[in-house]
Structure 1
Amino acid sequence: MGAVWLQTHSWGTIKGSAEDGAEIDLMESAYKADKYAATIHYDGYGADHQQSAQVVAAPALHTTHYQTIGLNWTPSRMEFTCDGQIVRTVTDPKLISQVKEYPILSHEVLDWAEGDVTTAPLDYRSTMYVDWIRVWQ
């Protein structure tokens, strides 16, 4: 599973909104098909956890074809992009973090993702290619 996401040091405070920080998944692919989720997680990972997600079709996601994943983020709007196209727009104030977040690129195998790694061939490879990352204020 490959992911491009943002996180904050203030994550986990229960306020009923993402205002004080959120896990913002620009792209999290836990699927076998060429699609991914653009998700905002807030209020921690426990019983109070809340999220808002949208699944995005991304042709050739699981090939060596590069995708350009982005987030245009202002205090009142978030635009998630894939290859220059807006794929999700968020304007609900309770879903928009108002604090600094830092980027994370991750690639991992998780038991809740689609598929079963234990039944994959022994020579199975899972690779995520990253050409560059740019962050600006």
Structure 2
Amino acid sequence: MIQRFIELGEGYGDFYELIELALSNKQRVHHLIQIETTIKEQKRASLAVVLQPATKAGFMPIYFCREGISIHSERVSERIRVFNELAETIHKKIRYLEVRPSADFPEKDLYQQYLIGVLRVNHCIPPLNW
């Protein structure tokens, strides 16, 4: 099985595209994931939607918006609130993970391979021979 990240941008339009992808494919949603990290002493979140493979081709897409949301202890971000509402709407629980920031990796592909490993270890995505 091929498991690959499909990165959307960090803006509001990209976030709402992620939400629409989940809503229009709700029967395929495997997991909703909030990936947290710290960048320059600021907590940031990436939001991800993991979809089941559409066919026997074995391609499992992981759509995500990388590190674009600030996490503040005193108030909940509007995008995180909408992501929580999405989880309620499609009857899925959000998985929370803490990872290293993407800036720790010289290439985006290396960061995504690292995340795939983290997702596998935490049973958010199945092993390759699934």
Q: TM-score higher than 0.5 here?
A: no
TM-score (norm 1): 0.31
Between structure 1 and structure 2, the one with the greater Rg is: 1
Whichever structure has more strand as a proportion of its residues is: 1
TM-score (norm 2): 0.33
Whichever structure has more helix as a proportion of its residues is: 2
